[in-house]
Structure 1
Amino acid sequence: MTESTRIRLTRGERGVNGAVRWLADRGIGVAGAQTLTVRGRRTGEPHRVPVNPLTLDSRTYLVAPRGHTDWVRNVRRDPCARLRRGRRDVAVRLIELADAEPKVRVLAAYLSTWGWEVGRLLPAGLSATADHDTLRRHASLLPVFEVVPIVTD
């Protein structure tokens, strides 16, 4: 999977994403899901996707288990976004992790937590029970972002 690979969702996956997003917007986080809103890189219009934030060592991360998807490309263009669950709507900056070792640590924790849900979405050759060496080999295929709240006065 490369930067230019376009991931297409099936009709069923779009329906599930819509339902999870709808529930998260109303404060019912299916297994902790939240809604990420990013600005479209071409249109500037807001785009909303359900995500599974992971807290590790008091930091929050987002992983793109489908790889370099549209929301990832949008965040790379404009790292300012919003995370919402119910009435809680927080402005955040998403900072992509570049180093393989921190990514591998986050990916291992993410797959331990969310592997049951995202295992089928992972790139070929990677599974939800992958060891650190396998994660290291696939780290470039799975973007990882640290979520930093934007503090306003």
Structure 2
Amino acid sequence: MSDMGTLPGWLKPANRVVKLLHRLGVPLGTIHLITIPGRATGEPRSTPVSPLTVNGRRYVIAGLANSNWAENARAAGHGRLSKGRGHEVIDLIEVTDPATRRQVMTAFPTEVPHGVQFFIRIGLVSSGDPAAFAAASDKVAVFEIRRGERSDG
């Protein structure tokens, strides 16, 4: 995986707005909040994500392979996925198989069409064409979401 650099400055304020709307119960399409323990502090860190299902398995994509939430997911291997007032404890398994990553990225524009603009704005792809997303599969982190084995206490 190559590192693309840093995320744009507008992303943190935008994520704050999405998290606030999420807490208020405003429906935001496929957007969920993923909460993962920080790798240094252990404190919960939340970020908006849009899970997608490919071949009966659920996945989530980090637009930058070295983003904080991706690094935290690698370190913790678990977290919580929330939508509205509902949540589930999850395990996060990084997908290293290039073919599976390409499949997931190819499906993204169809499964999460409102998320295409995000990938265009961060410079990962130039269009919503599935082939463009497939070509970028080595620049992102893909995690499979599985029902967690841990208690939520």
Shorter-chain TM band: 0.7 to 0.9
* Alpha carbons 1:60, 1:148 under 8 Å: kept: yes
Report the 3-state secondary structure (helix = DSSP H, G, I; strand = E; otherwise coil) of the residue aligned with 2:101: helix
Do residues 74 (structure 1) and 72 (structure 2) align?
Answer: yes
* Alpha carbons 1:97, 1:103 under 8 Å: kept: yes
Report the 3-state secondary structure (helix = DSSP H, G, I; strand = E; otherwise coil) of the residue aligned with 1:94: strand
* Alpha carbons 2:107, 2:130 under 8 Å: kept: no
Quick one: which amino acid aligns to residue 122 of structure 2? Answer: L
Aligned residues: percent identity?
26
Give structure 1 stretches of 5+ with no counterpart: none
- Which 4+ runs in 1 deviate beyond 4 A? none
* Alpha carbons 2:89, 2:150 under 8 Å: kept: no
1:89 maps to 87
Shift of 1:45: 1.0
**Aligned mates of 2:129, 2:23 — CA distance in 1:** 30
**Aligned mates of 1:75, 1:59 — CA distance in 2:** 18
Task: Return 24-33 or 36-45, whichever deviates more.
Answer: 24-33
**Aligned mates of 1:68, 1:122 — CA distance in 2:** 15
* Alpha carbons 2:8, 2:122 under 8 Å: kept: no
* Alpha carbons 1:25, 1:34 under 8 Å: kept: no
Task: Return 79-88 or 27-36, whichever deviates more.
Answer: 27-36
* Alpha carbons 2:15, 2:47 under 8 Å: kept: yes
2:28 maps to 30
Report the 3-state secondary structure (helix = DSSP H, G, I; strand = E; otherwise coil) of the residue aligned with 1:135: helix
Report the 3-state secondary structure (helix = DSSP H, G, I; strand = E; otherwise coil) of the residue aligned with 1:31: coil
Do residues 107 (structure 1) and 113 (structure 2) align?
Answer: no
**Aligned mates of 1:30, 1:66 — CA distance in 2:** 22
Shift of 1:87: 1.4
Shift of 1:2: 4.1
Quick one: which amino acid aligns to residue 121 of structure 1? Answer: I
TM-score (ref. length: structure 2): 0.82
TM-score (ref. length: structure 1): 0.82
**Aligned mates of 2:122, 2:8 — CA distance in 1:** 10
Quick one: which amino acid aligns to residue 145 of structure 2? Answer: V
